[in-house]
């Protein structure tokens, strides 16, 4: 951590999900379920997409290899990830809240320690990435 690092938070907009909180949580807390979204990944930007129950890795152009691991599961409302390998270390949360029996809402948050120079370069792409993750997660069939 550098001398001028400060914590920066990036939040997606809230996404409405037409599935129960429990159904969504059960899917996002086991990363083997990423198989459902493999075909939605932009192949020109992502390569070497791999995952198991607790971690996911992908090569992102032009960033390089990213590997995230689930570090906390808070059933049925939150799954927290930490970086294992990344040019910038960060944590990512996926929060799921109930709306009613059949509907829930979701928000993706990234918190990173960034110095002012790096922050200027990565803020736009990180905010965009958080929103794209939330969009992709909102389109999954959580049956």
Phi, psi of 3, deg, nearest 5: -60, -35
User: How far is 94 from 73, CA to CA, in rounded Å?
Assistant: 10
> Among candidates 60, 59, 36, 32, which has minimal Cα distance to 48?
59
Res 45: pLDDT: 64
Res 15: pLDDT: 98
Per-residue pLDDT for 19 more than 90?
yes
User: How far is 56 from 68, CA to CA, in rounded Å?
Assistant: 5
pTM for this one? 0.87
Res 35: pLDDT: 82
Q: Which helix (H) or strand (E) holds 56?
A: strand 55-60
Question: Mean pLDDT over residues 39-64, rounded?
Answer: 78
Res 111: pLDDT: 95
Beta bridge partners of 90: 112
User: How far is 133 from 123, CA to CA, in rounded Å?
Assistant: 15
Give me the chain's average pLDDT, please.
Answer: 88
The alpha carbons of the chain give a radius of gyration, in whole angstroms, of 15
Residue scoring higher pLDDT (117 or 62): 117
Burial status of residue 3 (CB atoms within 10 A of its CB: 0-12, 13-18, 19 or more):
exposed
What does the pLDDT look like over 58-85, one tens digit per residue?
887 667 788 999 999 999 999 999 999 9
Q: Quick one: what percent of the chain has pLDDT higher than 90?
A: 52
What's the first-to-final CA gap in the chain, in angstroms? 42
Res 11: pLDDT: 97
Band the pLDDT of 139: cuts 50, 70, 90.
confident
């Amino acid at each position: 951590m550098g001398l001028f690092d400060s914590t920066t938070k990036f939040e997606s907009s809230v996404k409405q999900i037409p599935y129960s909180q429990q159904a969504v949580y059960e899917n996002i807390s086991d990363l083997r379920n990423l198989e459902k979204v493999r075909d939605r990944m932009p192949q020109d930007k992502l390569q070497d997409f791999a995952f198991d129950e607790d971690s996911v890795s992908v090569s992102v152009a032009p960033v390089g290899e990213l590997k995230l691991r689930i570090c906390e599961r808070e059933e049925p409302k939150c799954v927290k990830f930490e970086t294992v390998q990344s040019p910038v270390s960060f944590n990512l949360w996926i929060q799921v809240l109930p709306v009613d029996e059949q509907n829930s809402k979701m928000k993706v948050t990234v918190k990173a320690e960034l110095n002012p120079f790096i922050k200027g370069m990565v803020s736009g792409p990180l905010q965009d990435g958080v929103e794209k993750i939330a969009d992709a997660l909102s389109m999954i069939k959580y049956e």
